[in-house]
Chains A and B, each alone.
Chain A
Amino acid sequence: MKFDAPATTNPIDQLRIVGQPTDRIDGPLKTTGRAPYAYERYDVAPNAAYGYVIGSAIAKGRILSIDAAGAKALPGVLAVLTAENAGKLGKGATNAAPLLGGPDVAHYHQAIALVVAESFEQARAGAALVKVEYYRAPGAFDLAAAKDSAVIPQIGQVGERGWRFRGGLRRRSRTPR
Chain B
Amino acid sequence: MQAAFIKHDGYQCGYCTPGQICSSVAMLKEVEAGVPSLVTDDLTASPEASLAEFRERMSGNICRCGAYSNIMEAIQEVAGRKA
Interface, chain A (partner B; CB < 8 A): 21, 23-24, 26-33, 35, 37
Contacts and interface: CB of A to CB of B under 8 A. Distances in A.
Contacts of B9: 21, 23-24, 27
Q: What bracket does the count of chain B residues touching chain A fall in?
A: 10 to 19
Contacts of B14: 26, 29-31, 35
Given A30-B17, A31-B2, 12 more contacts: A21-B9, A23-B6, A23-B7, A23-B9, A27-B5, A27-B6, A27-B9, A27-B11, A31-B18, A31-B21, A33-B17, A37-B15
Chain B binding surface, main DSSP class? helix
A1 B7 CA distance: 37
Chain A binding surface, main DSSP class? loop
Contacts of B18: 31, 33
A24 B15 contact: no
A24 B9 CA distance: 7
A22 B9 CA distance: 9
Contacts of A30: 11, 14, 17
20 contacts: A23-B6, A24-B6, A24-B9, A26-B14, A27-B5, A27-B6, A27-B11, A29-B14, A30-B14, A31-B2, A31-B3, A31-B5, A31-B6, A31-B11, A31-B14, A31-B17, A31-B21, A32-B2, A33-B17, A37-B15
B43 to A, nearest CB: 34
Contacts of B6: 23-24, 27-28, 31
Contacts of A32: 2
Interface string B46-77: 00000000000000000000000000000000
A73 B15 CA distance: 34
Nearest to B1: A31
A165 B11 CA distance: 39
A23 B11 CA distance: 11
Interface string B7-35: 10101001101100100000000000000
A35 B2 CA distance: 14
